[in-house]
Amino acid sequence: MRILFQRAIVATLTMNIFVRAINQLSDIEIDKVNKPNLPLASGDFSIGEGIAIAIISTLTSLAMGVMLRSPPLVIALVIRWIVGAAYSIDLPLLRWKASPLMAVVAIIILNGINVLPYFVHFQKYVLGRHLVFTKPLLFSVIFMGIFSVVLAFLKDIPDVEGDKEFGIRTLPMILGKERVFSISISMLLLAYGGAALAGVSSPFLLCKLVTMIGHSVLGFILWCKAQAVDLSNTKSTYSFFIFIFQLYYAEFFLMHFVR
């Protein structure tokens, strides 16, 4: 069981490497303005090496998914590959990052909806259980969906200068950094408030306390961090975006206590 779990995680991580690689390959010139320290933008990796990493990570991920004989895992990996490519590659009907709406759709699919095939994989092919769509699953999809929207909103704030130079119209360019930032923080605070209230209905004291206190504390930390962000400073906004990702990963721990 542990080996099946670990292999699924490795398959997902290698597919995530593809998503990052194809994004950097498509954004080399933009990254030279927004994120000059990235491997391809800085010249640490050549374009050929970037392409090789994208191809090898894709083949490795899909091969591991097929070897595990789990259709839902393969579906999850293929969805991640298609959406990751569509988000970055500059071809007709693609380059979703250039559209505020499609950028949000892509991140919701990758970080929210795509939880479902992983759930089916672990329930049926790792744990050998019958499929039951539970309260924790519903909570995870909704909460991570909100988080995904916020990530889609905030990711473009540090990149406004480069996006403007290359004609990519993102939400912060249309509505302004301040408004997008304010909307994002409000959405997350409401999500944390809702999660804390969800803990009230738990019949288990430990789950009730961890869910309520955990989400309340993270919401308070979020609010404090948001007050210190300088929206005119790229390093400050990028540092805050990384912090939001840390909150996102912290939720993978807390969601286990939602009952």
Q: What is the pLDDT of residues 122-154, one digit of tens each?
A: 777 777 777 777 777 778 788 888 888 898 888
**Number of other residues whose CB lies within 10 A of the CB of residue 175:** 15
CA–CA distance, 202 with 211 (Å, rounded to integer): 9
Query: Given the structure tokens 């969906």, which residue do they identify?
Result: 145
CB 79 within 8 A of CB 87: no
- pLDDT recorded at residue 60: 93
The answer, yes or no, to whether residue 219 has pLDDT greater than 90, is yes
pLDDT band at 225 (very low <50, low <70, confident <90, very high): very high
Residues listed for the chain: 259
CA–CA distance, 133 with 163 (Å, rounded to integer): 41
pLDDT band at 172 (very low <50, low <70, confident <90, very high): confident
Q: What is the pLDDT of residues 6-52, one digit of tens each?
A: 777 888 889 999 998 999 999 888 888 878 888 888 888 889 999 99
pLDDT band at 171 (very low <50, low <70, confident <90, very high): confident
What phi and psi, each to the nearest 5 degrees, are found at residue 46? -85, 165
Q: Poorest-confidence range of 185-189, 192-196, 200-204?
A: 200-204
CA–CA distance, 246 with 57 (Å, rounded to integer): 24
State what percent of residues in the chain have pLDDT above 90.
29
Give this prediction's pTM: 0.76
Give the mean model confidence (pLDDT) for residues 205-221: 91
- pLDDT recorded at residue 3: 63
